[in-house]
Structure 1
Amino acid sequence: MATNAEIAGRFEEFADLLEADDVEYKPRAYRRAAENIRAHPVPIADPVASGNEAVLEEIDGVGDAIAAKIVEYVETGEIEELEELRAELPIDIADITRIEGVGPKTAGKLYRELGIETLDDLEAAAEAGEIQEVKGFGPKTEQNIRDNLEFARQIGQRYLLGEGRPLADDVLAFLEGLEAVERCEVAGSIRRWRETIGDVDVLAATDAGEDVVEAFVDWESVDGEIESGPEKASVRVGEIRVDLRVVVPEEFGSALQYFTGSKDHNVRLRNYAIDRGMKLNEYGAFDVSEIDDPDAGLRVGDRVAGDTEAGMYESLGLPWIPPELREDRGEIAAAENDALPDLLTRADIRGDLHTHTEWSDGNTSIEAMIEGAADMGYEYYGIADHAEGPGIVGGMGLSDTEIIEQIEAIREVAAAHEITVFAGIEANVDADGEIGLSEDVIDALDVVVASPHSGLDQDAQTATERLVHAIENPAVDVLGHPSGRLLNERSGLEFDATALGKAAAANDTALEINANPRRLDLWGSAVQAALEEGAPIAVNTDAHQPSTLEYMRWGVHTARRGWAEPDDVINTWGLEDLRAFLH
């Protein structure tokens, strides 16, 4: 059955193709609907397939016309109008628009002028010098396309964590419901909470492996079997491959450690074990100190651990290392020296400082967003709609006059609620690092988030200087989504995270982990580098509707990948400490 993400993807494609065809208004409506479908907390395909179309009435932006298309897709696997549009514009729109600077309108023009349908067509035209001959293009645009082709091809093979992890949770729920399964857990990159995944890996402990594999392949959510055998199976759920491996219960811990990875972590850990007369593999931890040929077999030596994952590390005298840290960035040495971080948890978060309302590009009212934050149990909450500036979608940024009006509106609504509400703004960091707000507006605001939205093709040195300049601005409290990347869509700015960390520490400016699963910006290694310089961090959702306040889940795990502890994150602080921090 189609997932919410799959249905949303059809409407995103619809919007892109309509925009490529120079249709106005409709693309925005379809994108809004797609965002709300993707974020909807309940799967919609099953009730729609059962005739309960009323579930669609709960989704903001889904009117009768879009609802009819959803029903059509769930029932037939196609949307006739979309198929007609694909025939009219046979463009691999998702692939081509992954090129930085190539949006749907550009893709449509290149198709009409040069017949470009695929990345291969685009590459051939760029190499032949044909693109720069099209009106409105030039040598710089053509070179940019050549420079970004490899990135576009690479990201097309991976899925967002925000798409894969909910599916993984569904798989776990199914397996936990099987009487023969004693334990189960996700493994691989999804357990390490990497921002993108190739597939979903799941491990189950059972003494009835073949029965579990058979039940898994017959699971009603499976759309196709790829392969299966007595110990493993691979299926397709929607567009995502799910791999199940079954093991006997006494080898569950060792298999979980092995299949979680990363490869670099496992190699270093195995070498650490060898130096101590031990051998680690998916079958257990073995003492081979008295064995002449430790490589004579996988189970050679005295097995000392393997039932539990913690036991695998304990067999080496190490504490259990959280999966998010297993990237070979010093975690084994830290474990050896009893210096692993006390990682941030979801329960530590007291508020969210970067969210949006319908005043700019959000989907709902100030009142609804404040109520949503209160329902999250937060002590405080910040609204930061877009200010005017280059790169703001649809030119929906607020003028200085509108910002002042919104501050007054926020204060009026907030007065009726117990939660503390910060009136903020998301200012645009322009190509020179300026934020474009007047002093009167700055003085009236509680919090300023400053983020790059344009000029994302700068070289690393220029980008670093630009972002440092913004950090040094006394008005800026938080540098939002510093790279401006959109996962699987655009690569964003490259910069020196250590330099940003130093500047942030020196200027009491927080660096944001934007928890939107399409961003996760900053990312783990950049967070770690910044924290090593003493930078404060903010984990914000960039939510555009109440349901996407739940994006905090992705942000917290990204912070954990960066070794963040609670005190490193400003929105774990008490209200008075946070007030003192905000400029």
Structure 2
Amino acid sequence: MTDAPNPLAALEEIAFLLERERASRYRSKAFRAAAAAITGLSDEELRDAASLRRRKGIGDSTFAVIQEALAGRVPDYLAQLRAAAGEETPTAGAGLRAMLRGDLHCHSDWSDGLTPIDSMVEAGRALGHEYLALTDHSPRLRVANGLSPDRLRTQLGIVAGINAAGPGGFTLLTGIEVDILENGDLDQEPDLLEELDVVVASAHSKLRMERAPMTRRLVAAASSPHVDVLGHVTGRLVQGERGTRPPSTFDARAVFEACAAHGVAVEINSRPERQDPPDDLLAMAVRLGCLFSIDSDAHAPGQLSLLDYGAARASRLGVPPERIVTTWPLGRLRAWTARERNAGGSEGF
């Protein structure tokens, strides 16, 4: 990014940085709306301050950013956000971060994400991803506008169109973050799950179940012939505007042994408010021979860059890079997701 961006680039970078720091969604959406409002405008139109100020989507803060950028300097607000991002970005794990080829967990505005699919794709490409899995929520999670089977089928067609029209070197993978129901079943039609490139299975409700039933629930998901990644396994929250939440209680050894036996990757969730699995459980999963997937769980384009945090944790805890599926090239990743599930194990990938 240049030091003095043009107005459109400045607005988009501010939105990206606000998303990365998980600021209020209204703030980041305001800057994305302003960027959309000036897209395609000529320099003359941008410099018509009176007309610009009346344009829908332009508020006081975004107008100020545009004027500062037109003057050829870095807008003050952007400078502040750049400085904050530089201070917060972990430097540990940079080598592992450079090895990551993609991300198997992100959301669009088809469920509870903030932006259209195209915006997530553009951000993934800009970060140098080889692939990105679109994993919107499943039907039972109504608060997140989970996808019915019909909506998911429609989305599959849109993903196919994006891949057909886009430049080479990047693939948008079909996927879902399917809810693990209380009895361990998955919240989507099995035949439809079979069609997807990537299935992330996560528990989002009844997180305070007793230890034994929660263990059975997670083991059932890890043993499913449809699951590729076990998402944010404990469900804990350690910081952030949603407050904190203790981890679910379960027999971690039994769950991770099931993951290892069936070649299911344990997600290293990169969101700072999750840091899931906790360090002790992540170390256990390493000892038990599990595969891993470092994922952003992004709900906006700027959050795709949260992989920095997951890579830092994985590096610190000695997770072998060769067992992190998101370091694999697309061909090897596809071979893994197409594995014979009943045979179990992850050898050969």
TM-score (norm 2): 0.71
CA distance in structure 2 between the partners assigned to 1:70 and 1:374 by the alignment: 26
Decide whether the 8 Å contact of 2:18 with 2:302 is kept in 1. no
Q: How much has 1:524 moved relative to structure 2? A: 2.2
Q: 1:498 aligns with which of 253, 256, 281?
A: 253
CA distance in structure 1 between the partners assigned to 2:135 and 2:34 by the alignment: 22
Decide whether the 8 Å contact of 2:180 with 2:202 is kept in 1. yes
Q: 1:366 aligns with which of 114, 117, 124?
A: 117
* SS in structure 1 at match of 2:133: strand
Q: How much has 1:168 moved relative to structure 2? A: 9.0
Decide whether the 8 Å contact of 1:362 with 1:544 is kept in 2. yes
1:375 counterpart residue number: 126
CA distance in structure 1 between the partners assigned to 2:128 and 2:185 by the alignment: 35
Q: How much has 1:477 moved relative to structure 2? A: 0.6
1:148-167 → structure 2 map (5 Å cutoff): none
Decide whether the 8 Å contact of 2:177 with 2:202 is kept in 1. yes
Decide whether the 8 Å contact of 2:222 with 2:262 is kept in 1. yes
Decide whether the 8 Å contact of 2:175 with 2:197 is kept in 1. yes
CA distance in structure 2 between the partners assigned to 1:509 and 1:461 by the alignment: 21
Give the residue type in structure 2 aligned to 1:58: F
- 2:207 is equivalent to residue 452 of structure 1: no
Decide whether the 8 Å contact of 1:56 with 1:67 is kept in 2. no
Decide whether the 8 Å contact of 1:350 with 1:571 is kept in 2. yes
Q: How much has 1:398 moved relative to structure 2? A: 0.5
Q: How much has 1:500 moved relative to structure 2? A: 2.1
Deviation per CA, 1:365-415, whole angstroms, max 9, x where unpaired?
Answer: 1111111111111111110000112xx362500001111110111111121
2:213 counterpart residue number: 462
Q: Which stretch of structure 1 is more off in the superposition, 458-467 or 441-450?
A: 458-467
CA distance in structure 1 between the partners assigned to 2:113 and 2:192 by the alignment: 21
2:287 counterpart residue number: 532
- 2:156 is equivalent to residue 399 of structure 1: no
2:106 counterpart residue number: 355
1:57–1:436 CA distance, 2 compared to 1 (3 A): closer
1:270-419 → structure 2 map (5 Å cutoff): 345-389=96-140, 392=141, 394-417=143-166, 418=168, 419=170
2:347 counterpart residue number: none
Q: 2:19 aligns with which of 39, 42, 47?
A: 39
Q: 1:427 aligns with which of 170, 178, 183?
A: 178
Decide whether the 8 Å contact of 2:112 with 2:144 is kept in 1. no
Give the residue type in structure 1 aligned to 2:283: Q
CA distance in structure 1 between the partners assigned to 2:331 and 2:256 by the alignment: 24
- 2:309 is equivalent to residue 554 of structure 1: yes
* SS in structure 2 at match of 1:345: helix
- Count of residues paired in the alignment: 278
* SS in structure 1 at match of 2:108: coil
CA distance in structure 1 between the partners assigned to 2:142 and 2:308 by the alignment: 26
CA distance in structure 2 between the partners assigned to 1:550 and 1:442 by the alignment: 27
Decide whether the 8 Å contact of 2:138 with 2:178 is kept in 1. yes
CA distance in structure 1 between the partners assigned to 2:238 and 2:177 by the alignment: 21
Structure 2: stretches of 5+ with no match in the other structure = 1-14, 38-55, 64-82, 339-349
Q: How much has 1:467 moved relative to structure 2? A: 0.7
Decide whether the 8 Å contact of 2:20 with 2:305 is kept in 1. no
Q: How much has 1:40 moved relative to structure 2? A: 5.5
CA distance in structure 2 between the partners assigned to 1:400 and 1:536 by the alignment: 29
Decide whether the 8 Å contact of 1:344 with 1:566 is kept in 2. no
CA distance in structure 1 between the partners assigned to 2:248 and 2:62 by the alignment: 36
Q: How much has 1:433 moved relative to structure 2? A: 1.3
Decide whether the 8 Å contact of 1:366 with 1:413 is kept in 2. no
1:83-94 → structure 2 map (5 Å cutoff): none
CA distance in structure 1 between the partners assigned to 2:174 and 2:225 by the alignment: 17
CA distance in structure 2 between the partners assigned to 1:500 and 1:66 by the alignment: 50
1:61–1:565 CA distance, 2 compared to 1 (3 A): farther
Decide whether the 8 Å contact of 1:40 with 1:59 is kept in 2. no
Q: How much has 1:449 moved relative to structure 2? A: 0.6
* SS in structure 1 at match of 2:172: strand
Q: What percent identity do the matched residue pairs reach?
A: 33
More strand by share: 1
CA distance in structure 2 between the partners assigned to 1:374 and 1:450 by the alignment: 25
Decide whether the 8 Å contact of 1:360 with 1:396 is kept in 2. yes
1:401–1:494 CA distance, 2 compared to 1 (3 A): same
- 2:315 is equivalent to residue 564 of structure 1: no
Q: How much has 1:498 moved relative to structure 2? A: 2.3
1:388–1:520 CA distance, 2 compared to 1 (3 A): same
CA distance in structure 2 between the partners assigned to 1:559 and 1:60 by the alignment: 36
CA distance in structure 1 between the partners assigned to 2:28 and 2:299 by the alignment: 21
Higher-RCO chain (CA-CA 8 Å, sequence separation at least 6)? 2
Decide whether the 8 Å contact of 2:107 with 2:299 is kept in 1. yes
CA distance in structure 2 between the partners assigned to 1:55 and 1:449 by the alignment: 27
CA distance in structure 2 between the partners assigned to 1:468 and 1:55 by the alignment: 38
Deviation per CA, 1:20-50, whole angstroms, max 9, x where unpaired?
Answer: xxxxxxxxxxxxxxx9774257x9xxxxxxx
Give the residue type in structure 1 aligned to 2:103: D
* SS in structure 2 at match of 1:426: strand
* SS in structure 2 at match of 1:354: coil
2:233 counterpart residue number: 482
Decide whether the 8 Å contact of 1:344 with 1:565 is kept in 2. no
